[in-house]
Structure formats: C-alpha cells, structure tokens
Amino acid sequence: MIRFESDYLEGAVPEIMSRLIETNYEQTAGYGTDPYCRAAREKIKLECNAFDADIHFLVGGTQANLTVIAAALRPHQGVMAAETAHIEAHETGAIEATGHKVITLPTTDGKINAADVKNYVLRHRADESFEHIVQPAMVYISQPTETGTVYSLPELEELSSVCRELGLETPEPDLTEWRAMVERMHSQSRSVKIGLVGKYVKLHDAYLSVAEALRHAAWAQDAKVDIDWIDAEELEKPDGERLLSGLDGIIVPGGFGLRGTEGMFIAARYAREHHVPYFGICLGMQTAVIEFARDAAGLADANSGEFDPESTNKVIDFMPGQSESVDKGGTLRLGGYPCVITPGTTMARCYGEREITERHRHRYEFNNDYRELLQEKGLTLSGLSPDGRLVEAVELSGERFFVGVQYHPEFKSRPNRPHPLFMAFIAASLGD
C-alpha cells in the first residue's frame, strides 16, 4: 500500500540501505558541498536538459517551498494552492508566518484546475479594492498531490497556459543577497563548537529553530557551527561536567518541567565560573537565575515554583499580581511583547535600540521579590517590560557574553538576517 500521510513513516528501499552501508565510513564535506551532491546536480541538469541551471539542495520540502516563494513574490503577493496543498495543510503556517498569504482554492481530488485559477484572478481584478487585497501571483502544485492524485500533462499545460494568459509572472527576483549568503555557507574559514544543553536532544528537531539561528549567525561571521548535543540529565552524573570541557559556548534553550534542570544548573555554573559564553533562552534564562541565586547569592534552596512548589526561595514563580493582567493564552504568556533595554548592557550593545519586541511562550516569571538581592550580587536586569513589572532579560555584564532572555529570539532569526543576540553569542564564542 502506498501511503501519503508523511514520507517520514516509510522505510528506505534496499538499494538505498545498501548504498548507505557502503558509504557509512566515508568522510565528506557538509551537505551540499560533498561529491554526492555535485554528482546529483549534474544528473539533474542532464535529465532536465538545463545545463546552465543553478541547483541548490535544501534540508526539506518546507524549506524549499519557503525559499522559492519568498524569493519570487513581493510582500503584497500571495500564492494560490489547493485547500489540501502541502503549504496549507502540513507546514504549520510556515509560508504565511514569513509574510506571504496562501490563497486556497476548493478541490475534490487534491488538484486545482486552470478554470478555477482563472476565475479567481479575474474576480480579484474586478474588485474595486483589488489594490488593497493580497494579489494572486503564483500557482503552487505538488506532484503527486496530498491525496495521491496525479496531474496529467494536459492539466499541467492548461495551468501553464492560464498563468501566461493572466500574466502571473513576478518581476525577476534580486537574488544577489541570497547568492552571497549561499557562498558564505559553502566557504567558511573557521569553526566554533557550541554545546546545546537540553532535555530533548535525542530529537534534534525539537530545537530546530535554535540550531538554525546558530547557523545563521555563524555563516554571517565566516564560521561553521559544530553543535554538541548534550543531554542535560547526563550532566547530573558524577563525571557529567566533563561533557562541557572544550566548548566555545553554551546555549540552554526553552522547555518545561523538572527533568534535566539540575543539569542545566550545572551548565550555567560551569559557564559562569569558566567564563564561557552562555546564552539562556526561556527555561535557559530561568535556570541561570536559579543557579546564580544558589551559588552567588547564597540561597541554597533557590528554585522555581514550577520545579518545587514548596521551596522557600522561589526566585522564578507564577506571580499573583505580577503578570495576571498580561494575556497568557490560557496559562501561557504567548506572542509578541515589548521589552525596554537597560543602557550600557550587553543587550544594549547587541540590539542598538532602546525598545524591542520579541515572541514569548512561558508561564513563569522572575520573582520581583529577589530583584534587589540578585542585583547586589552582580546580576544585571538588562531588559524589562515597559511598565517595569516583568524581567525580560538578565546578564552578567562583566562577561564576554552571559545573557538570559525570557523570550524566544530564535523565532525571528533568518538566514540573511541573523538575530543580533545569536550574532553576539557566536562572536563571543569565536573570541571576536
């Protein structure tokens, strides 16, 4: 039986498995620059009779769809697709999240037809306010479709003919910036080793946005990032701290729950005591605050209300009167919120702005009852909500880079626009 739910559910054919075994011990360059990718490019050019084509390999279909649509369309333009299309139904809003609307057309078999495309475009152009409505400028199809149906050659020719008739041709995209970025990706002259300490590291995709943001920042600085995926629970073992030696930087991303948090405390303490650049995101910020409260401020039982509701020193807590007026999406503080940056801090040097907006996803907050004590011991509150009630960022300003943020900056990083915090973290890890 052929199934179309997900290609990840299917195994590899014997020929592929055999070839993987044969080449298992080969040492090759990174994906896209290895001899197998070079050979694949030539085969594709030959099969397509397009020897002047410029071929790039991406890590997945979502990235490929996003890259093509973002490169071809202007900000006010959208892409037409079947209501069951992959970009609409299976990519968690990736296309629209990056600025291009998916215009869906009804379908009974997973395919769109030329007549429906033409009718939609003509209705759009007949609208008196068409200039103020997202303009259809591209047609997206997948072959086979999400339901397993296949476009015939006449159907494809009809779609192509209608697109030409309607002038659905976008201006030639300016790919100068992207080509320069791709060149940087393939020609790094140095490398940096970053330890990513988390509780879900066996599934790398759990931290995909963080990993990609690290790569974005490294590429921009002529570097390749080597991520050492460290299970936080392994750090809790008697000899666990050895896993942190030899790292250029340590990052602790977000998460929920008690498991692995003691290992995260160890990571934060190691970075602080050994002056290793540290970047804590959401849970990574909270665990850094707890560790600082324990070891630098003398609060041996410091903890989070999430991890130990009975702790007498909950430096992180869900605070009555502190955040109850903030829309938390049920129990989460969710979405974009402004942050005012403290002048003269690492945060200020990174952003170069007084007020920023970042995306949040968390329940617990820095407990304001401990502001004065922790600041006296050397912790800098480098980002606050505009009304001053919520601590959004902390740092050790005397370190090369030791920053914890309550929000998720990885969500705003782009390959050609690395996030400033990731840029500064990688720069510090490189020794720049």
Catalytic site residue from 163, 282, 339, 350: 282
Contacts (Cβ under 8 Å, ≥6 apart) of 363:
306, 318, 328, 331, 332, 333
Q: Would residue 408 show up in a list of annotated catalytic residues for this protein?
A: yes
Of 100, 362, 408, 419, the active-site residue reads 408
User: Which of 88, 358, 365, 410 is labelled catalytic?
Assistant: 410
Convert 104-127 to b/e letters by CB count within 10 Å (16 or more is b). bbebeebbbbbebbbebbeeeeee
**Cα separation of 74 and 65, whole Å?**
15
Amino acid letter, residue 276: V
Is 282 a residue of the active site? yes
d(CA 90, CA 84): 9
Q: CB-based burial of residue 235 (10 Å sphere; 0-12 exposed, 13-18 middle, 19+ buried)?
A: buried
Query: 40-79: b or e for each residue (b if 16 or more CB lie within 10 Å)?
Result: ebeeeeeeeeeeeeeeeeeeeebeebbeebbebbeeebbb
| Residue positions annotated with a catalytic role | 282, 408, 410
